[in-house]
Amino acid sequence: MRVFVKNKRNQSLMPCKPQRARLLLKQGKAKIIDYKPFTIQLLYATGETTQQIKVGIDSGAKYIGFAITSGNKVFGKGTIELRDDVSKLLTARRTYRRSRRNRKTRYRKPRFENRAKPEGWLPPSIQSRIDNTINWINKIANALPAPEITVEVGKFDAAKLKNPDIQGKEYQNGEAFGFWNTRYYIFARDNYTCQICKKKGGILQTHHIIPKRNGGTDKADNLVTAHIGCHADFHKGRVQHTFKKPKQYRETVFMNVLRRRISKQVNCEITYGSYTKIARDTLALDKSHYNDAIAIAGIKTIKSNPNAVLYIKQFRKKKRSLHEAIPRKGRKIPNRTAKRNGKNTKQLKGIFLGDTVSVFGQRGYVSGFTGTNGFYVKTIDNEYIKKPGKTYKQVGYKDITFISHNNNWQLSTKNVPIHPPPNQRFGRGLLGAGVKREM
């Protein structure tokens, strides 16, 4: 990966190679001003000659691909992975809080309707991903001299995905239009027949195919009819039945919102996936987020494409739960005082959650602590680093070499082979298979 450079007036210059950056730092001609991404500032006067820089961004609901190009060269590329556990954690917190208030303060009146949402409010799970997407686009742009940014966005019609023939007023009429509520629509749709035992009659209920704890919704396509007895037996494991899982369209909502926000908050050009596919096939690149970003940047031919790919991953660093389901674990005396063990361990011997460490020759990140001398360490691919020849996940303090503290982002570089080599590639897509391309 390249090192970003700024002049004495803190203006962005062209990126340089790591070897050049080390030489400038050793000679005292530059200083480090940022580590992520690694940025140096020159301490001597320089010219302001720059070349055209283009940045391609492949936006997505969970992964963001980016690439920095100039002319026919790719300077850098990478993938950013966003968090997808925000909704689950907020649901758990809401459950704990409501349970505690029901047990401790039953005399209080409910206050569900006295909190108005501000204009432009979005669910926290969507707001988090949109904010981080825009922040990373701005961070990459600020490290480069006047780059031209192109962002791929998505535009989806969720109603048309469900029903390709929908038209006009049908958009205003949902699936349950004409019924008292969704429940009665489900019963009528299933012909008042239990979908487990396939029999009519009896007391009926609705069953969630995908449980709400796993991200299921209360929409009609996620509900089926079931007898009250069959429903209870199914959840207790007495009856086995496989339901056809419905298609989920949550990410289409996110991409539609993201498109509108990026258009207002980022100075960039907008493109769509249909154009990206044609450009990627013309360049004979494999399907990946960073290769999509290279195609989005508008490069016509590739003369230089580094093997190094930067992986950036967002993680949860702190735990702010106000209540836990289990007050104390492994207690030896009666829990008369409702004392809780310290579960939110933030650091151990100067090493914090998310810190970059080296263990048994591998680079990893601290994901937890055990006891007073043990650590859990994972790679950026979410795999535990274990002691050679052992099956347990803990590693000792003596086995860890501290590298650096982190914020809420993990960074790692991988070398990805480019097959076939640029001068031996054959065309696909518009040029047809088997047509050799000049690079």
237 has pLDDT over 80: yes
Secondary structure letter of residue 303 according to DSSP: S
- At 436 the pLDDT is 34
5, two tokens: 């450079």
Q: pLDDT tens for residues 69-85?
A: 998 899 889 999 999 88
Share of the chain above pLDDT 90, in %: 33
Domain 54-101+123-156+249-316+408-439 maps to which CATH number in 3.30.2250, 2.40.50, 1.20.1630, 3.30.420? 3.30.420
Q: If pLDDT is split at 50, 70 and 90, which confidence band does 277 have?
A: very high
Sign of the C-alpha dihedral computed for residues 224, 228, 230 and 231 taken in this order? positive
- At 334 the pLDDT is 60
Contacts of 256 (CB under 8 A, 6+ apart): 154, 155, 156
Q: What is the mean pLDDT of residues 101-122?
A: 82
Distance from C-alpha of 429 to C-alpha of 277, rounded to nearest angstrom: 9
Q: What is the mean pLDDT of residues 178-189?
A: 87
- At 376 the pLDDT is 92
**Domain 347-407's class?**
mainly beta
Q: What is the mean pLDDT of residues 179-188?
A: 88
Distance from C-alpha of 59 to C-alpha of 262, rounded to nearest angstrom: 10
Q: If pLDDT is split at 50, 70 and 90, which confidence band does 25 have?
A: very high
Q: State the number of CA atoms in the 13 A half-sphere of 9 facing the CB.
A: 7
- At 434 the pLDDT is 34
Is the previous residue joined to 110 through a cis bond, with omega within 30 degrees of 0? no
- At 239 the pLDDT is 87
Q: pLDDT tens for residues 327-348?
A: 555 556 665 665 555 556 778 8
* DSSP assignments along 235-302, one per residue: HTTSS---PPPPP--HHHHHHHHHHHHHHHHS--EEEEHHHHHHHHHHTTPPSSHHHHHHHHTT-SS-
- At 304 the pLDDT is 87
Q: Per mean pLDDT, which range of 102-116, 192-206, 275-289 is the poorest?
A: 102-116
- At 432 the pLDDT is 34
SS (H, E, C) 10-30: CCECCCECHHHHHHHHHCCCE
One-letter amino acid of 100? R
Q: What pTM does this model have?
A: 0.79
- At 427 the pLDDT is 41
Q: Delimit the domains of the chain by residue range.
A: 4-42, 54-101+123-156+249-316+408-439, 168-234, 347-407
Strands (E), 293-399: 308-314, 347-348, 351-352, 356-359, 362-370, 374-378, 395-396
Which among 98-102, 225-229, 368-372 has the top mean pLDDT? 225-229
Secondary structure letter of residue 360 according to DSSP: T
Secondary structure letter of residue 119 according to DSSP: T
Average pLDDT score, the chain? 83
Sign of the C-alpha dihedral computed for residues 228, 230, 233 and 237 taken in this order? negative
- At 335 the pLDDT is 55
Map residue 423 onto helix, strand or coil: helix
188 has pLDDT over 70: yes
Q: What is the mean pLDDT of residues 277-289?
A: 91
Contacts of 45 (CB under 8 A, 6+ apart): 7, 8
Q: State the number of CA atoms in the 13 A half-sphere of 190 facing the CB.
A: 27
435 has pLDDT over 60: no
145 has pLDDT over 50: yes
Separation in Å, CA 145 to CA 3, 21, 54, 66, 216: 13, 18, 10, 16, 45
